[in-house]
Every structure is written in C-alpha cells, then in structure tokens.
Amino acid sequence: MRDLDITAVAKRSGVPASTLRYYEEKGLIRSIGRAGLRRVFDQQVLERLALIALGRAAGFSLEEMAGMFTADGKPRIDKRLLAAKAAELDQTIRKLSAVREGLLHAADCRAPSHLECPTFQRILRVAASGKLEDKSRRSVRRPRK
C-alpha cells in the first residue's frame, strides 16, 4: 500500500486540502508524516473521508463525527445516535413533503386568489402556528384537473 500526500488525497477524495488540514486539526483524520512540506496519509484515509462525507450528508456535526472513531481511527458507531438522526430526518422529510404539497396546491389552485382558497388558508394557519411538522402527516390535497 502506497502512502498519499495531501494533494493526492484531495484529488482522490474531492475534499480540498484546506478541509483536510481542518479535519486533521479537529482530530477526524491523522497524517502519518510529511514528505517535504506536505502532509502524508495512509490509503485508509480515503475510507475515513467517505465515512465523514456520509455522516455530513446525514447532518451529523464534525464533533459528532469525531466521536464515531476510536483513538486508533477505527469506526465506533453509536447505533442509538444513528436511530435518533434517522428519526430527525423522517421529521424533516415529512415537513418538506407538506411544504411541497402546499406549493403544488398553490400552483394548481383554481381559486381566483390564493387567499380565497380554503386549503391555502389552512396551510397558512398551520405554517403560522409553527406546527407544520406536526400537521405534515396530513396530506394537502391537490385540486383535480
């Protein structure tokens, strides 16, 4: 296995060198030395960067991600934390689905004005109340064409 300098890691992972240095500062990755002025990493850093990218896409903070690795760099996944994040994502999906349905209704509504539409009025009340997440399980019906 050949070691990679920071430029090679950046090219292969798509993560900028500045971010790699920041991740190292935060303890998410670790260089194994230097080649001149450049940091050098072992090949396994690419897998670790992929795990970090997946965690970031799921909405985990860098601090949460750092806690998912042991001191020697092995993954230590907290299944309860994953389940909690999945539940949070479900709530976000429900909220965004309700917003999408409201937008689609507004785009297709036959009422002369959106403010005259009872369905749109209900959407506005729910949004104003801050309870969009709670009400999002109810589907907003789109008008028939």
The per-residue pLDDT for 1 is 61
Does residue 111 have a pLDDT over 90?
Answer: no
Rounded Cα–Cα distance for residues 64 and 32 (Å): 23
Residue 39 CB-half CA count within 13 A: 20
- Determine the average pLDDT of the residues in 91-113: 87
CATH of span 4-66: 1.10.1660.10
* pLDDT > 60? residue 143: no
What is the rounded distance in angstroms from the CA atom of residue 45 to the CA atom of residue 9?
A: 8
Domain spans in the chain, listed from the N-terminal domain onward? 4-66, 79-135
Average pLDDT over residues 3-10: 93
DSSP H or E stretch at residue 35: strand 33-35
H helix or E strand, kind and range, residue 54: helix 44-57
pLDDT tens, position by position, 31-57: 888 888 888 999 999 999 999 999 999
In this prediction, residue 110 carries a pLDDT of: 87
Q: Mean pLDDT across the chain, nearest whole number? A: 84
Query: Please, are residues 90 and 119 in contact by the beta-carbon 8 Å criterion?
Result: no
